[in-house]
Amino acid sequence: MKKQWIILICVILIGSGIPELAAAASPTPKVDPSVQARAKERQILYETMQTLTGVPWPYLAAMDQYEQNLRQESKNAGPPPLISIQVPPSTWAGLINPDQGDKLPDSISFFGGIGKDGDGDGVADRRNPIDVLYSVASYLAEKGHKEEQIRERIWDYYRHPTTVDVITHIARIYNKFQTVQLYDRSFPIPLRYNYTYHNTWGDRRGWGGLRIHEGADIFADYGTPVLSTSYGYVELKGWNRYGGWRIGIRDIYNRYHYFAHLSSFNKGLKKGSIVKPGDVIGYVGSSGYGPPGTSGKFPPHLHYGIYRFNGRNTYSFDPYPLLRRWEREAYKKRKERKKRQSRQTSSTTTLQWID
């Protein structure tokens, strides 16, 4: 009966909700159609599990995306599976279960495992994406469906405070946009402004003690708008004695984007805000290297850094290749936009001549 119910829900979702979600996301044309199709399949499963367990689908999507990000860090990682969540055998079957490959729901339950039969075939298989997602959703739902209750279960599962925050913030991003198809990116400075940058990641810095430069400096005039590079959740906003007025944004790929030395913030931005690529978050300045309000110790520029969380630690990596790619994409989009505008103008002129 449960299997028939799941199939029925999937059919309903395919027939009604998913096309609208895909249209709302407006993914860039460069995205592989097979990637978009897999994203639609995953969202069907997430929403199905929400119907069955009451757990809001963005939490399931966020947990799945979080683990997919961890898998992709591996050099041997192949194409991501439909569902990336990998439940450890001891968690699935039960810590003291003598059969760590146990697939019998009653036996698993007896030994305190979380594994359940999600598709009604009588087997709880940790390699079956429906079984995995149903088991995880049921686990998250055990203490209730409110955010704090779900956060408590995420803590029980991963036992890492940063993981709890990362998954929660990814979930809030998905909840805001109501889709997992969030592919766009943006260069952090509008192309119409004067700017210059080079690869300065890893250079020596001496203020406050010898250290390496964990970012790229984009030099621009005071007051130049600074744009969000991704869909993200604003985790930090305020003063840092090194970075001055700075903003920290978490994206859906376990990455933390750091924008520093600002002159001011976008007035509507606050901690907890959800942003999208191209949103103005602040303005270029020269703040930092001292107590709050210190400014002018160096030329105005944006310090842009990216940090990745790998499930254990957070580390900086070179943002320069990403900046170059996003800059090229921005120029290409601008060129295509001008072509479309030119064609529209030409078409309007032709119609006027015919009239």
> Tens digit of pLDDT for each residue in 289-338?
999 999 999 999 999 999 999 999 999 999 999 999 999 999 999 998 88
Identify which of 152, 159, 134, 128 has the alpha carbon closest to the alpha carbon of residue 60. 134
Q: Domain check: are 204 and 289 in the same one?
A: yes
Residues 64, 85 contacting (CB under 8 angstroms): yes
Identify which of 286, 289, 226, 290 has the alpha carbon closest to the alpha carbon of residue 258. 226
Residue 95 CB-half CA count within 13 A: 0
Q: Domain check: are 231 and 262 in the same one?
A: yes
Residue type, 108: I
Residue 341 lies in a domain: no
The DSSP symbol for 143 reads G
Q: What is the pLDDT of residue 106?
A: 96
Q: Domain check: are 144 and 199 in the same one?
A: no
Q: Which residues of the chain have pLDDT under 50?
A: 8, 11-27, 29, 351
User: Would the CA dihedral through 163, 165, 166, 172 be positive or negative?
Assistant: positive
| Integer Cα distance of 41 and 64 in angstroms | 13
- Domain C-terminal end among 145, 177, 209: 177
Residue 347 lies in a domain: no
Q: How many domains does the chain have?
A: 2
Residues 263, 222 contacting (CB under 8 angstroms): yes
pTM: 0.87
Q: What is the pLDDT of residue 90?
A: 97
Q: Domain check: are 92 and 240 in the same one?
A: no
| Integer Cα distance of 180 and 131 in angstroms | 21
Residue 76 lies in a domain: yes
Alpha carbon distances (Å) from 282 to 238, 245, 275: 11, 9, 12
Q: Domain check: are 158 and 240 in the same one?
A: no
Q: Domain check: are 171 and 215 in the same one?
A: no
Q: What is the pLDDT of residue 15?
A: 47
Residue with tokens 């310090």: 303
> For residue 224, what is the domain's CATH number?
2.70.70.10
Residues 201, 235 contacting (CB under 8 angstroms): no
Residue 66 lies in a domain: yes
What is the CA angle 81-85-91, rounded to 5?
Answer: 135
Residue 52 CB-half CA count within 13 A: 30
Residue 189 lies in a domain: no
Residue range of the domain that includes 40? 2-177
Q: Domain check: are 213 and 157 in the same one?
A: no
Q: Domain check: are 173 and 252 in the same one?
A: no
Residue 354 lies in a domain: no
Residues 218, 180 contacting (CB under 8 angstroms): no
Q: Domain check: are 56 and 136 in the same one?
A: yes
- Token pair for residue 111? 């030994």
> Which of 21-28's residues contact partners 24+ apart within 8 Å by CB, and which partners?
21/178, 21/179, 21/181, 22/179, 22/181, 24/177, 24/178, 24/179, 25/177, 25/179, 25/181, 25/182, 25/183, 27/181, 27/183, 27/184, 28/183, 28/184
- Token pair for residue 8? 């029925």
Query: Tens digit of pLDDT for each residue in 161-207?
Result: 999 999 999 999 999 999 999 999 999 999 999 999 998 887 777 55
Residue 274 lies in a domain: yes
| Integer Cα distance of 239 and 261 in angstroms | 9
Residues 92, 135 contacting (CB under 8 angstroms): yes
Q: What is the pLDDT of residue 355?
A: 52
Residues 57, 175 contacting (CB under 8 angstroms): no
The DSSP symbol for 154 reads H
Residue 353 lies in a domain: no
Residues 285, 264 contacting (CB under 8 angstroms): yes
Q: Using DSSP, state whether 56 is helix, strand or coil.
A: coil
Q: Domain check: are 211 and 73 in the same one?
A: no
Q: Domain check: are 157 and 219 in the same one?
A: no
Q: Domain check: are 215 and 87 in the same one?
A: no
